[in-house]
């Protein structure tokens, strides 16, 4: 009895596995990225464990490395890819549990998405914790052997092996008959099918690693290269002299009778070559990093190969309490679908490292202000103690100082893009406009900077800033006019009776249709010496009104003429309205209902009642 035990995959797993295999049929190469990312995680776990229990490092090798080895078996047989890490490993139970069952959040969500046919791509499986199953894309049978480190609690761990094929609904786990062949960690052996023979090329694997994994791990990745060189065989009849190789070549050319093959031996030289030997991108000087490298790193941090960042900032900083750091901050190309419902999606968007070693990507929900929680940030600090726990981190002044710097850098980044790359900024203003407006509401001291970053539609332009609005104001105009209607089309807002008179007089009116617009404008109150004015509210003033001119006289005369009607309306509508007045605001509409300056506009009432539904 070799202790072999056969397990049934959980029914969900069987479904998931075949789903992954089918939907990723044309993206087979993701398997390598996923397995290397698991190796990276295992090494990070080992390093974290070692902070509290040094003994884990003394078991097996002290090295923390990832190795990729291709065994081509050229003589017609199937080849293998062997991926080894010296990470935390898995016990027998863990092999069965981690590779064969799921109790992961998000899995059912994944199934739903996939079965609804919403693009299941290579990026989804990584995000949903299904990476391991991608090895079945290239390998009909997979063998995983693993040996956890010896610890105080478990001084003598055993090496176990997990075997599964891509079809069928069961897998086996048994004590490895080879004994403890691994010093520590995990070995994954993929049997490469004939159709996937391209993956048996070292050069191909190297380019895949360079493309997908150079940035996602700081642990060294080695690949075994075989150089087959032909060396001349010393020939008894025509001894080759040491020295000038040209002379030797001349000999060959002239000696046409010599069968050349017989004069050479094949020599195989094996070398472990480090693939990811560049310094991590954030440690390099910004001027030495190309845009393409920044975009590649973005794809790695965003776990999204298909999109590009809209802008980034790479900087050094000093928190003032003596901790210096380097950071790269990215504006993603899209917001997560549920961003506005959750607004906590920022949780895993700030990765904190200390001296190149990953510490955490969970700095807490409110580490970044929620309106900036979409930014993807990598921070590498120099002087924090390596074993900082989350609790000590949260009490650490470093974090609050870091947060302040990141917010300032983000505002600088948006500002810079708005000036240097106006076309790109259009996209940003559209995607993140609502977030910036909420920023203005929640971060009073950054009001002015944020106000300058906002873009609006207006009666004059379909893309304008407040600064432009102020530049284009009419002489004497002291108010920034706006009308708000959530979800309405700007063109429809422009037809409102409130807007028509202003427009007829040549004033520009901002047409606001985002939910955050109206509270934002009310909170902004002032911009470059002008006050903001909802044109549907009391308090509207025309800049060109000439107080005792003809217009005023006409209004006074009309007030007298309409007095009986006004009195009657006030009586008739008593209790439902607060006032009835004669106005010169309207052009074609005979009358309109307006809101007191401090009351809620009709738009705001709609928002508030929607929220209490």
Q: Which is nearer to Mg ion, 109 or 545 (CB)?
A: 109
Which residue do the tokens 């397995």 mark? 35
Q: Which is nearer to Mg ion, 35 or 454 (CB)?
A: 35
Least distance CB 71 / ligand ADP (angstroms): 19
Q: Which is nearer to ligand ADP, 212 or 437 (CB)?
A: 212
Pairwise CA distance, residues 496 & 122, whole Å: 48
Q: Which is nearer to Mg ion, 131 or 185 (CB)?
A: 131
Q: Which residue is nearest to ligand ADP (CB)?
A: 131
Least distance CB 92 / ligand ADP (angstroms): 13
Pairwise CA distance, residues 347 & 527, whole Å: 34
Q: Which is nearer to ligand ADP, 47 or 537 (CB)?
A: 47
Pairwise CA distance, residues 411 & 58, whole Å: 47
Least distance CB 193 / Mg ion (angstroms): 22
Cross-strand pairs, 352: 360, 379
Residue ranges binding ligand ADP (CB under 6 A) = 34, 38-39, 41-42, 85, 87-90, 98-99, 129-132, 186
Residue 90 binds: one of Mg ion, ligand ADP, none (C-beta under 5 to 8 A by kind): ligand ADP
Least distance CB 41 / Mg ion (angstroms): 6
Least distance CB 97 / ligand ADP (angstroms): 8
Pairwise CA distance, residues 582 & 558, whole Å: 7
Residue 332 binds: one of ligand ADP, Mg ion, none (C-beta under 5 to 8 A by kind): none
Residue 88 binds: one of Mg ion, ligand ADP, none (C-beta under 5 to 8 A by kind): ligand ADP
Cross-strand pairs, 527: 530
Residue 85 binds: one of ligand ADP, Mg ion, none (C-beta under 5 to 8 A by kind): ligand ADP
Pairing of strands 185-192, 141-147: antiparallel
Q: Which is nearer to Mg ion, 46 or 372 (CB)?
A: 46
Which residue do the tokens 């997990």 mark? 162
Considering only CA atoms, which of 165, 162, 35, 45 is closest in space to residue 92? 162
Residue 497 binds: one of ligand ADP, Mg ion, none (C-beta under 5 to 8 A by kind): none
Q: Which is nearer to Mg ion, 131 or 439 (CB)?
A: 131
Beta strands in 294-399 (DSSP E): 311-318, 324-331, 350-354, 357-360, 376-381
Q: Which is nearer to ligand ADP, 85 or 500 (CB)?
A: 85
Sheet strands side by side (includes 160-165): 5-8, 170-175, 160-165, 141-147, 185-192, 79-85, 66-71, 221-232, 264-274
Residue ranges binding Mg ion (CB under 5 A) = 38, 131
Residue 99 binds: one of Mg ion, ligand ADP, none (C-beta under 5 to 8 A by kind): ligand ADP
Sheet strands side by side (includes 509-512): 457-458, 509-512, 479-484, 530-534, 526-527
Pairwise CA distance, residues 479 & 521, whole Å: 12
Least distance CB 17 / ligand ADP (angstroms): 10
Least distance CB 360 / Mg ion (angstroms): 18
Least distance CB 356 / ligand ADP (angstroms): 20
Residue 49 binds: one of ligand ADP, Mg ion, none (C-beta under 5 to 8 A by kind): none
Query: Positive or negative CA dihedral for 125, 127, 133, 135?
Result: positive
* Four-CA torsion 208, 211, 217, 218, nearest 10 degrees: 110
């Amino acid at each position: 009895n070799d202790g072999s035990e056969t397990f049934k995959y959980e029914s969900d797993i069987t479904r998931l596995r075949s789903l992954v295999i089918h939907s990723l049929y044309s993206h087979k190469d993701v398997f390598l990225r996923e397995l290397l990312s698991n190796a990276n995680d295992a090494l990070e776990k080992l390093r974290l464990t070692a902070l509290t229990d040094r003994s884990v490092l003394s078991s097996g090798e002290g090295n923390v490395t990832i190795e990729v080895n291709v065994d081509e078996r050229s003589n017609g047989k199937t080849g293998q890819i062997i991926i080894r890490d010296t990470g935390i490993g898995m016990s027998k139970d863990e092999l069965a549990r981690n590779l064969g069952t799921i109790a992961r959040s998000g899995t059912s969500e994944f199934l739903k998405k996939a079965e609804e046919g919403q693009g299941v791509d290579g990026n989804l499986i990584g995000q949903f914790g299904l990476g391991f199953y991608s090895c079945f894309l290239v390998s009909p049978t997979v063998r995983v052997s693993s040996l956890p480190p010896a610890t105080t609690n478990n001084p003598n761990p055993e090496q176990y092996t997990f075997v599964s094929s891509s079809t069928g609904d069961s897998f086996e786990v048994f004590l490895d008959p080879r004994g403890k062949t691994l010093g520590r960690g995990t070995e994954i052996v993929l049997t490469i099918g004939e159709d996937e023979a391209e993956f048996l090329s070292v050069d191909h694997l190297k380019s895949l690693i360079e493309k997908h994994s150079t940035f996602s791990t700081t642990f060294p990745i080695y690949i075994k290269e075989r150089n087959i060189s032909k060396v001349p065989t010393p020939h008894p009849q025509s001894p080759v002299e040491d020295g000038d190789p040209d002379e030797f070549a001349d000999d060959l050319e002239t000696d046409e009778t010599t069968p050349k093959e017989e004069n050479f031996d094949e020599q195989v030289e094996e070398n472990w070559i480090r693939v990811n030997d560049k310094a991590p991108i954030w440690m390099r000087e910004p001027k030495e990093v190309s845009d393409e490298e920044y975009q590649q790193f973005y794809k790695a941090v965003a776990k999204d190969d298909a999109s590009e960042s809209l802008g980034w900032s790479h900087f050094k900083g000093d928190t003032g309490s003596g901790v210096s750091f380097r950071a790269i901050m990215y504006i993603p190309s899209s917001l997560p679908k549920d961003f506005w419902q959750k607004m906590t999606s920022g949780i895993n968007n700030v990765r904190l490292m200390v001296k190149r070693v990953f510490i955490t990507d969970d700095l807490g929900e409110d580490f970044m202000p929620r309106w900036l929680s979409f930014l993807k940030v990598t921070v590498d600090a120099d002087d924090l103690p390596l074993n900082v726990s989350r609790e000590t981190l949260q009490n650490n002044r470093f974090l609050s100082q870091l947060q302040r710097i990141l917010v300032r850098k983000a505002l600088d980044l948006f500002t810079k893009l708005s000036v240097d790359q106006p076309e790109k900024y259009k996209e940003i203003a559209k995607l993140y406009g609502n977030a910036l407006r909420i920023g203005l509401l929640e971060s009073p001291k950054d009001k002015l900077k944020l106000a300058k970053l906002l873009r609006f539609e207006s009666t004059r332009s379909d893309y304008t800033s407040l600064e432009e609005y102020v530049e284009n104001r009419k002489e004497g105009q002291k108010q920034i006019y706006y009308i708000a209607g959530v979800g309405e089309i700007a063109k429809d807002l422009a037809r409102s009776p409130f807007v028509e008179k202003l427009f007829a007089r040549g004033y520009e009116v901002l047409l606001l249709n985002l939910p955050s617009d109206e509270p934002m404008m009310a909170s902004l109150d002032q911009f470059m010496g002008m006050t903001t004015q909802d044109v549907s509210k009391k308090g509207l003033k025309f800049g060109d009104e000439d107080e005792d001119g003809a217009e005023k006289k006409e209004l006074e005369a009309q007030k007298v003429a309409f007095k009986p009607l006004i009195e009657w309306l006030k009586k008739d509508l008593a209790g439902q309205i607060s006032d009835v007045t004669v106005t010169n605001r309207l052009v074609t509409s005979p009358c309109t209902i307006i809101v007191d300056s401090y009351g809620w506009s009709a738009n705001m009432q709609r928002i508030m009642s929607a929220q209490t539904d």
